[in-house]
Structure 1
Amino acid sequence: MNLNMHSVESLVAQIQGLSGNIGELTQLRSYLKHCDDLLRTESTRLAPLLTELDPSVHSLGYLYILEACTSAPLSKDQANELVLSIARFINVCAAEQIRLAPEKFISICKRFKEQVVLLDDPMRGVAPLLTSIRKLQSSTEQLTTLHPDFMLLCLLSKCYKIGLSVLEDDVFEIDQPRDLFLYCYYGGMICIGQKQFRKALELLHNVVTAPMPIISAIAVEAYKKYILVSLIHLGQFATSFPKYTSSAAQRNLKNFSQSYLDLVNNYSIGKVSEVEKCVQINKDTFESDNNLGLVKQVVSSMYKRNIQRLTQTYLTLSLQDIANTVQLNSPKEAEMHVLQMIQEGDIYATINQKDGMVRFLEDPEQYKTCEMIERLDLSIQRIMMLSKKLTTMNEVMSCDPSYLGKVGRERQRFDYDDFDTVHSKFNI
């Protein structure tokens, strides 16, 4: 069957006539599904049809035709035009219509992402892809399959703050497990770029400990960055895994990260010279992993950790003594490190410029200001919300047939195991 004038008129008429209410749209979706193979076959001849449709009114039909048009290979000029067309459609399309064919909408959004990357202009895709996520989501708690693509564009274009705004959303619904891995990995990298190491640790931890039947390259790369960020932010790294980590991760992640574990061992010694020696030995590995910049931050953080240790022993200390103790080149360099740590709230101290002495102070926070009370109140509200959400999820899970079936099978297996143990022990 070919796309002739009659079938073109029929297709446009159906789209224009069945875009009114949900009943008509459901009927239109069935019609478009029936025509899907035909649309793909005639993809090169469909572009003129888009001019006869209003993307804000006929979003579902427009989506099917636009998706078919994007399936063919494109030249650079055509790619530019395609990016403009998809961006315009994303901005004006009706969310309730595109949600009737989410796989089609996701398809054109992913093609859009690919094209802006190929055109070496990822910033063009950030705002439209954020809009597409919001239109596709049933709530901000849903992680769509477009989230990783959006995070990648934020990374490539260095639009970190826009990425952070999405990372603030709590996620409780996930379309595909792989989406969570990529979302948390890219999100962790965005947080690293903004030096929000606590949030980065949380996201990378999710990748490392998430259920996985086999080890993935994403988990390996996340584990390497997880080690480095732990050293920078916490000054230590626990090589043991939490109990809920998958057996695949526990068995294999360390095997792919030996250079990083060597760095952990040298860091724990507390000598900058040992850490620098380890970095030099493994420099090629760190560089090929694109982690050398982060490794350099690990080395720099050692000075901070060593200065923090001094605050636990001394009340006052000269800048010269600090420089000697933590292996800095001069009192001036020690002063710069101390000033930066004071500014970032890592230590509380004053510097007497006249005699070059540093006086270490106690934390001045009394936890009774209006700002602190407001922060505590927000934390309590968040904990209450999470508790309520967990209770609801537990109730839903306890009624899920597949979960109950699995629990029943596990319980039956353990019952037999217990019986065998007792039988063997008491010779019954």
Structure 2
Amino acid sequence: MTKSTDSARLIISDSEHDADMLYASGIFVPDAFIAIEIDAEWHGLFSPLEVDRARKNSRFSHVHLDTPLRTVAENLNRSGLASVAAAFLSEHAITRVEVPGHFPLAYADALKSWGFKVKASEGAFFPSRAIKSEQEIRYLAHAEKLTRQSMQQAETYLAACSIGDDNILRDSQSGKKVKAADVRRAIETFLIGNGAMPAHTIVACGREGADPHNIGSGYIRAHQPIIIDIFPRILATGYWGDMTRTYVKGKATPEIKKIYNTVREGQDIGLSMVKDGVDGPSIHQAITAHFDNRGFPTRMVRGKQTGFFHGTGHGVGLQIHEAPGISPRPGTLKTGQVVTVEPGLYYPGLGGVRIEDMVVVRDHGCDNLTRHKRKLEID
């Protein structure tokens, strides 16, 4: 390799939790390690524990054992991963590094103290992550398939429940009063058994659903909206699924039916507009205008938010929330991006309704990866 620059790109992190490091390395490593890009080739620096596995399974162009570099650092009275990175950079006559925006301050300060110029990346460290390859889309489709199947577990569980005289659901097996945790257990047991890791699955009934990120903890009551939002990570690949449905066990009130139908229509508007070249704000504004026209404006009522007060959607990939967004913020959709379309309406004292599908942006429309029926009432 002939080096043509004195600059490099640097990541120091683990790949279990850092999506950029997982994207660069293609291998899960629970402890922090080093990735350095020089002249468009990525180098991975690993401990003796991980180096052989990395040589076999990572996507790095070059994999190095970090032990000799640690010795170089120790001879300079330096320690830690930043010193190992510094030794490698010095060996390659690198004086300037670009790092992700979330790069640890302690590492940056150490590198600066040793004479390196450190610059945080403006925007995404890997803009290419927003455009998914067909292989990535297959990973996401698998994640969404398991998400869809776990939602069916929730539907089946709720269908089997009876309704007590107090309108609280009763478990079909034990006869005990049903709480959000019981529905969540049916969802998450399925996911874990199929290689997916759930995280803070939302099962929010009635008033709890007025807060979009309230995971729910109370009793599940008949004739009230139940928001179920499932977003598991596939352990083998690191990619996420994401979908939301809103149900009523029993009979929905006319008010809830009107809200539900309005949200469903709003989602249809959003789904019909998703395609290459469309700007996110236009989708969000079209849905908001529909809600306004149906009598559901977004506003503050007695100091609380009501209506549609979150974005229409977000990108999904190695992170559950990533670029691009579909919201009032500027942004244009591009072919190959994977985004959610998830409008909702929320009212304190009543609850909320949200419906979410995950789709692939295509040249002339979108491919829906969720493919799960939308129904409100469960008998």
TM-score range, shorter chain: under 0.3
Would you tell me which structure has more helix in proportion to its own residues? 1
Rg larger in structure:
1
Higher relative contact order (CA 8 A, sep 6+): 2
TM-score, scaled to structure 1: 0.22
More strand by share: 2
